[in-house]
Each structure stands twice: as structure tokens, then as C-alpha cells.
Amino acid sequence: MIGTAERTKRQKGWLAAYCAAALVVAFFLLPIVFLVSVSFKSPDEALSGHFLPSRPTLDNWRNTFQIIPLGQYLFNSLTVAVFSGLLTVALAFPATYAMVRLKIGGRFLPAFTLATYVAPPVVALIPLFLLLRRVGLLNTLTGLVVVNGLGNLPVAFWLLSGFIRRLPIEIDEAAWLDGAGHMTVVWRIIAPMMAPGLAATALICGILAFDEFLLASSFSNDPSTRTLPVAIALFQGERLVNFGQMAVASITGIIPVYLIALFAQRWLVGGLTVGGVK
């Protein structure tokens, strides 16, 4: 029983919603699409300011890998991401379980863990630089793995506590009654049950490490341990900056995370939202 006026009003509403959605899509796609477009432009055309290349070329894609060791940097970045992601989860998971289920540390430890996240990483910059130098881990991938692995602990705690709270406590209780020790419960019973949660947490922490720039640029100055974001920042700083090659280098660094986004979207969104903000 909707009147004509009402119906046109509603149709106008839908039209506005679709226009808004189109704007949102355009805004979020624009930089990525333009980045890809520039990667196919010749040096002259890259300076023209047109959206699309009029004569697309693969030169940038051939040259860039020869000018800078992108493969090496990609390997470095992935190594840091994978191992620091695993390290973070390995350290944070048993502790989060103990805090959530066994109330170890009372109110203080969870609050303190989260509070450390508020401090900007630049606070740790100078002390960690001196510490890494003292133990000989400056300019090493091990150093970056450790620094990122520890730095993401509060994030992992936040995500994992959401996943653990979702599991019915009856499972733990049954295991306790059977006389299982805490280590057994954590690694043999709980861990397999929340494998997707552990994977999502490791993925998110790994991506954070992959994306990290400030600490990576300060703690590794050597080409053999340089990560992609650092390499791209240095590449930008060079005098003869070639937009096409810069685009190729950036896309190379973006592809791994977009592949993860493509294949693990559910896990990622689940991981981001499970901690629950309210």
C-alpha cells in the first residue's frame, strides 16, 4: 500500500545509495589502478599526467628487476613476515590462554599488555637500536624477526583472547578432570580446535611485519637484509626517479598481501572483528 510519491522517494534513495557506493569504489581503487597504469608507461609518458598509457610497454617490468634486487628484498620481507608472525603467536597464545581462562596476572597483565600498544614504536626505536647493536643483531633478518615478533604481541593478545573466549569452557574442564596438565590442554586440545584463529592471528601479525617500515629502515641498512618498504623508500630518494620503475617495485611489494587478501579474506575479517570493539 505504498503511494506513488513514497515509491519515487524510495527509488531516489536507492539511486543515491548506488551513487555513493560507486564513489567509494572509485576512491579506493583509484591509487591502485593508477599505480598499475603507470607501471606500463614509458618514462616520457609517465610525466604526461594522463590516466592510461597510450602505448603500454613492458620495459619497466623487465628493467626494474635488473636495476634493484627486488627478488632478494621480497625474500627478506617474506622471511621476516613468516617467522615473526609465527614467533608472535607462539609467544602470545599460551599466555593469552592463561590470562583468559586461568586469570593469571589478574586484571593487571591484560591491561598492561594492551597499554603497551598505545606507545608509538618510535619510543622503542633508540633503546632497541642500542640493544640490537650490543647483541650483534643489527642488519640481520633475525633481528627484524625478533623485533617484529615482540612488537606485535599486544595485537596477538587482543585477537587471540577473542578466539579463546568463543570456545566453550566445558572443553577445558573435561580435559582438567581427565588430569591433563596445562601444557597439554593448551597445545594438544585448544590449539587444534582454534587453528583458524591461530592462523588468522599469525596472518595479521605477519602482514603487520611485512608492512613495517620505521624499525626495518633503522635496524637494517644492508642490501642483503633490506625489506621491500625500505628498498622502495630508498628508491624514491634517488635523483633520477623513474615513476614507472617505482610503480613496478611498489606493485611487487603489494602483490603478496593482496594474494593473501584474496584467498584468506574470511579469516582476515574474522580475525579483525573477533576481538570485538565495543
Partner 1 sequence: MADNAVVDDVIRDPPRALISGSRPVIWLLVAPLVIGLAIFAVYPFIDILALSFSKSSLGRPFQKWPLLTNYLSLARDETFRATLIRTALFAIPVPLIETALGFAIALLLHMHLRGAGWIRGLVLLPLMTPPMMVATAWKLILAPSGGLLDGVLLRSGAIGQPISFLGTMPWAFLSVAIADIWQWTPFVAILSYAALQGMPEDIVEAARVDGASPSRILWHITLPMLAPTLLAILLLRVVIAFKLFDLVYGLTFGGPGFDTTVAAFQVWRTALTQFDIGLGAAQTIVFAILVSVVILPLTWLHRFSEARAG
Q: Which of the ranges 60-68, 100-108, 137-145, 190-198 carries the binding residues for partner 1, by CB under 8 A?
A: 100-108
State the number of binding residues for partner 1 (CB under 8 A): 114
Smallest distance, Å, CB 224 to partner 1?
19
Which cell numbers in the block locate residue 11?
A: 527509488
**Judged by CB, which is closer to partner 1: 63, or 243?**
243
Judged by CB under 8 A, which of 68, 70, 205, 260 binds partner 1? 260
Minimum CB separation of residue 62 from partner 1 in Å reads 20
Which of 58, 126, 188, 222 forms a contact with partner 1 (CB under 8 A)? 126
Helix (H) or strand (E) holding 193: helix 191-193
By CB under 8 A, name the one of 12, 51, 58, 222 that touches partner 1. 51
Indicate the residue among 58 and 269 with the shorter CB distance to partner 1: 269
Q: Are 90 and 155 in contact (CB under 8 A)?
A: no
User: Please, are residues 42 and 63 in contact by the beta-carbon 8 Å criterion?
Assistant: no
Q: Are 271 and 159 in contact (CB under 8 A)?
A: yes
Among 82, 189, 191, 268, interactor with partner 1 by CB under 8 A:
268
- By CB atoms closer than 10 A (0-12, 13-18, 19+), residue 247 is buried
User: Which region, judged by CB under 8 A, interacts with partner 1, from 64-72, 137-145, 193-201, 248-256?
Assistant: 248-256
Binder to partner 1 among 13, 71, 136, 196 (CB under 8 A)? 13
Q: Which of residues 166-225 bind partner 1 (CB under 8 A)?
A: 169, 172-173, 176-177, 179, 181-183, 186, 207, 210-211, 213-214, 218
CA distance 252 to 163: 33
How are the residues of the chain apportioned to helix, strand and coil, as percentages rounded to the nearest 5? 80, 0, 20
Q: Quick one: which of 24, 57, 20 has its CA closest to 38?
A: 57
Angstrom distance (rounded) from CA 259 to CA 248: 16
Q: By CB under 8 A, tell whether 8 contacts partner 1.
A: no
Integer Cα distance of 44 and 59 in angstroms? 13
In whole angstroms, the minimum distance from the beta carbon of 7 to partner 1 comes to 15
> According to the binding rule CB under 8 A, does residue 3 interact with partner 1?
no
Task: Tell which one of 8, 11, 15, 28 touches partner 1 (CB under 8 A).
Answer: 28
Nearer to partner 1, 69 or 117 (CB): 117
Note whether 143 binds partner 1 by CB under 8 A. Answer: no
Q: Is 263 in the site for partner 1 (CB under 8 A)?
A: no
Among 11, 12, 15, 20, the residue binding partner 1 under the rule CB under 8 A is 20
CA angle 219, 222, 224 (to 5 degrees): 115
Contacts of 120 by beta carbon, 8 Å cutoff, 6+ apart: none
